[in-house]
Chain A
Amino acid sequence: MKKWWMIPVVAVTAIAVTACSGGSNPFAEGKDASGYPERPLTMVAPSGAGGGWDLTARSITKALVAEKLVDQTITVENKPGGGGAVFMAEYATKYKKDPYHFFVNSPPILINNLKKEGNSPYGYRDTTPLAQLTKDYGALVVRKDSKYKDLSSLIRDLEKNPKGVTIAGGSAPGSMDHVVAVLPAYESGLDPKKLKYVSYDGGGEAIAALLGGNADVIATDASSIGEYKKARKVRVLGVTAPKRLSGELKDVPTLKEEGIDADFTIWRGVFGPKEMSPEALQYWEERLKKLSTSKAWQKELKANDWQGDYKNSKEFTAFLKEQEKQISEILDKMGMAK
């Protein structure tokens, strides 16, 4: 047993480490808000490189740095797995009090937490929603030569024979495209369980299925369908926006215009740890608000063809609560709620 001497060494080291960390905490708390980011910051995209979350995280970081809004360096980290569920499990437990890790998300943070299969036990309540930054809407799309000229004729057909129309989307059942796909039918009083939903791997594949005649209707993001409408390949029956959109989709009616009292926003926003000091919270609220009106951010929005929509922490949290209720009801009717 030559390692006996290790015991006191380990003990001393342990005490020293505890003492140091214990000693530095009150010191840090005693500092005013301007001293808050003492270390480099991390913005996490809970997906692989190249996806929507990744792009958002990189754009936010780029604009924050370009406008010199944050004095510390910020790095973007990709934490893929389980549609964001893997990262959420880690974040809600290990980073609960760490005001140096932030992440971007969108409605899946609500959906993953509510749905039965592939459930994430953690949701937005395990975080501090800091700000919503962009918005997009769902769109219901048919081929240019489709017999459906408007949403109501589609709904009438679905009422007669729910299995007669193939509806496709780019994500698994119980996820965002599916929710958007069944929203108008559900709000018109149809049983969403009876609809025929076929899921593809991503929006691009769903569009290919539509163009190739293997799907009658698809649900997708309004922002991604513009170029196909421009190419006169598709007709957009409706968008889930509260008001008419601008640009390529300006002549597309909203669900409300079609007599369906519903809308659905596909937002993107920034979240922080659940337990944040008032200083850190104030710091981020200020910086993200400044960011939302900054030139660099407007440039990013334009480059990525996004629509800016800023909500502060309070508004954002209230909005999330509302959308959670909406999603929960639909998933329940689809028989896919937890």
Chain B
Amino acid sequence: MESLEYLMKGFQIALQWQNILFAFIGVFIGTCVGTLPGIGPISGVALLIPVTATMTGGMPPEQAAASSIILLAGIYYGAMYGGSTTSILLNTPGDSAAVVTTLDGYQMAKQGRAGQALAISAIASFSAGIISLIGMVLLSEPLSNLALHFGPAEYFSLMLLGLCAVSGLAGKSMTKALLMTVFGLLIGTIGVDNVSGISRFTFDYPPLYQGVEFLTVAVGLFALGEVFKTILERKDAEGKVAEVGTILPTRQQLKQSAAPIGRGSVLGFLVGVLPGAGATLATFFAYIMERKLHKDPDRFGKGAVEGVAGPEAANNGASGGAMIPMLTLGIPGSGTTAVLLGALVMYNIQPGPLLFEEHPTVAWGLIASMFIGNLFLLILNLPLIRMFTKIVDTPIKYLIPCIIAISIFGVYAVQVSTFDLFLLIGFGLLGYLLARHDYPLAPVVLGVVLGPMIENNMRRALTGSNGDWLIFLQKPISLTFLIASLLLLVVPLLLQMRKPKQNATEAM
């Protein structure tokens, strides 16, 4: 087993004292970030990128990259643990992947079973984390071998599939999600075009030559957008912290949750591997599946422990699964992995088919550190449940200035330009306005990341084929992805068209 050998080497890296420390800091911040409503894993990771860049400043580049990605990934899967805390206690999801947990988790808390709900969610997250890691170790190798034969045509079709999936799933309204995707794609065209060398929308202004920095967009839209919302709407967080009862779940609850945890983990992992699908979708799938499989579906929504265990396992499974396309193909499977990709590029590490070959330290070190990180999370989450509820109590007047300061320092530390600070504020206002009118923000971010990749790969493929568009259909993998994208767009429409008909026949 070659991959197990690599994994052992990964553990050698992950078990270096500074990396253990980084993994711990990462999962700790992740748990906090996940707990705080509004600051999801995306903004958490985006905010911490410049901080880790400073922390790892003195190290050799490869090690610095490994250490910082260990920390940043820790925030990512750590936030998946923490996200459920406020869902359960306050009916306020810390991030979108924790929305489903509110359905039964909050009900459990109301019945005085908050401690058990939190514990089950921690155990589910831990199990899913480990299951998805085993999947990563075993499946990432065949996937990465396949990846080397991914040419521009295949990349283009795959990116298109990712874009289709995200646009269709990101929000309540398909039209708004598509609008936001296009907006992101437009931002992505700014700068000197990498294929023709022509500058677009740069107005001969050097700071725009390399395009709009992804970090500026992400921090602006998510972190500052939330700040503007809180300030302008002065919405004080109400809601009482429910009394946290006994933490230990009963033997029967554990028995009830075992199967949902297993199913949720596998489902989450598989959905997570699909680029663009992401954790939120996985949690919904898991919840629906548990409900369908249960003998007594009416218990759901009234504090069923399975309704917490399934989705919580799914969102952590998905965060592991999403790492596979990110590490082996360089494709972000979710908004947060898109930010993680940006972080790798900042260390001059090109995520892509050669990551495992060229940077085994980074790739395997990260995977191994996730085993350790998951263990930390379990240890952290069980006894610290009470303390985390206190963070939610932090008065907004102290919270907001901190977020603003971190955002501005963060962006300036990376870009060292005041122009980017104005951009940051601009995107913050935009983020507020868009979110207020129910425009999903994640498609913007994915548009910015995927746009240049889609465009460049399309034109690379066309340059290679001397302008023959058939190249996208001639390559079997590319064709498969194109068909899948088409299905992704057409099937929901067909289902919608069928629905009224069905209702009509029932009415008759």
Which A residues contact B (CB, under 8 angstroms)? Answer: 48-51, 55, 77-83, 85-86, 88-89, 115, 117-120, 163, 166, 172-175, 178, 196-202, 204-205, 207-209, 211-215, 336
Contacts and interface: CB of A to CB of B under 8 A. Distances in A.
Given A55-B61, A205-B352, A214-B151, 14 more contacts: A49-B347, A50-B64, A115-B197, A118-B199, A163-B466, A172-B197, A174-B197, A196-B464, A198-B463, A199-B460, A201-B350, A209-B460, A214-B152, A214-B460
Interface string B446-475: 000000000010001001101000000000
A85 B346 contact: no
In the A-B complex, the 3 residue pairs with the smallest Cβ-Cβ separation, listed nearest first, are A82-B209, A50-B348, A173-B197
B197 A212 contact: no
B111 interface: no
Contact of B417 (A86, A118, A211): A86
Contact of A82 (B207, B416, B464): B207
A196 B202 CA distance: 26
A211 B350 contact: no
Name which of A175, A201, A213, A215 has the most chain B CB atoms within 10 A of its CB. Answer: A201
B209 A212 contact: no
A50 B346 contact: yes
Nearest to B192: A118
B212 to A, nearest CB: 11
Given A118-B202, A200-B460, A202-B350, A209 B151 contact: yes
Contacts of A120: 206
A166 B463 contact: yes
B346 A48 contact: yes
Name which of A79, A85, A118, A196 has the most chain B CB atoms within 10 A of its CB. Answer: A118
Given A78-B416, A175-B197, A213-B151, A208 B354 contact: yes
A214 B199 CA distance: 26
A142 to B, nearest CB: 15
A85 B205 CA distance: 10
A318 B209 CA distance: 30
Contact of A166 (B148, B195, B464): B464
A208 B195 CA distance: 17
B141 interface: no
B65 interface: yes
A205 B329 CA distance: 11
13 contacts: A48-B346, A50-B65, A80-B416, A81-B210, A82-B207, A82-B209, A118-B199, A166-B464, A172-B197, A173-B195, A198-B460, A209-B151, A214-B152
A336 B198 CA distance: 10
B27 to A, nearest CB: 24
SS class, residues of chain B in contact with chain A:
loop
B210 A83 contact: yes
Contacts of A202: 348, 350
A160 B414 CA distance: 48
Nearest to A55: B61
A192 to B, nearest CB: 13
Contact of A199 (B61, B194, B208, B210): B194
A172 B352 contact: no
B194 A172 contact: yes
A119 B350 CA distance: 26
Given A172-B192, A212-B150, A213-B149, A51 B348 contact: yes
Interface string B31-72: 000000000000000000000010001000100110000000
Contacts of B456: 201
Given A50-B346, A80-B415, A213-B149, A196 B463 contact: yes
Interface string B346-363: 111110111000100000
Given A48-B346, A163-B466, A166-B464, A85 B209 contact: yes
Interface in B327-357: 346-350, 352-354
A49 B56 CA distance: 11
Nearest to A170: B350
B416 A208 contact: no
Nearest to A196: B463
Interface residues of B, number: 43
Given A83-B210, A86-B207, A172-B194, A205 B199 contact: no
Given A50-B347, A118-B199, A201-B456, A85 B206 contact: yes
Nearest to A216: B464
A48 B149 CA distance: 30
Contacts of B209: 81-83, 85-86, 118
A207 B415 CA distance: 29
Contacts of B207: 81-82, 86
Interface string B186-225: 0000001111111100101011111000000000000000
A83 to B, nearest CB: 6
A49 B53 contact: yes
A336 B197 contact: yes
A174 B466 CA distance: 20
Contacts of B152: 198, 209, 214
B411 to A, nearest CB: 12
A178 B192 CA distance: 15
A115 B196 CA distance: 13
Contact of B354 (A77, A83, A119, A204): A204
A151 B466 CA distance: 23
Contact of B464 (A51, A78, A214): A214
Contacts of B348: 48-51, 202
B301 to A, nearest CB: 48
Contact of A117 (B199, B349, B352, B358): B199
Contacts of B202: 118
A228 B232 CA distance: 57
B199 to A, nearest CB: 5
B2 to A, nearest CB: 16
Contacts of A79: 416
Nearest to A334: B197
A15 to B, nearest CB: 29
Contacts of A55: 61
A81 B415 CA distance: 8
Contacts of B57: 49
A212 B348 CA distance: 21
A115 B207 CA distance: 17
A51 B65 CA distance: 12
Contacts of A77: 416
Nearest to B461: A214
A263 to B, nearest CB: 24
A201 B61 contact: no
A81 B149 CA distance: 32
Contacts of B195: 172-173, 198-199
A85 B456 CA distance: 23
A192 B234 CA distance: 62
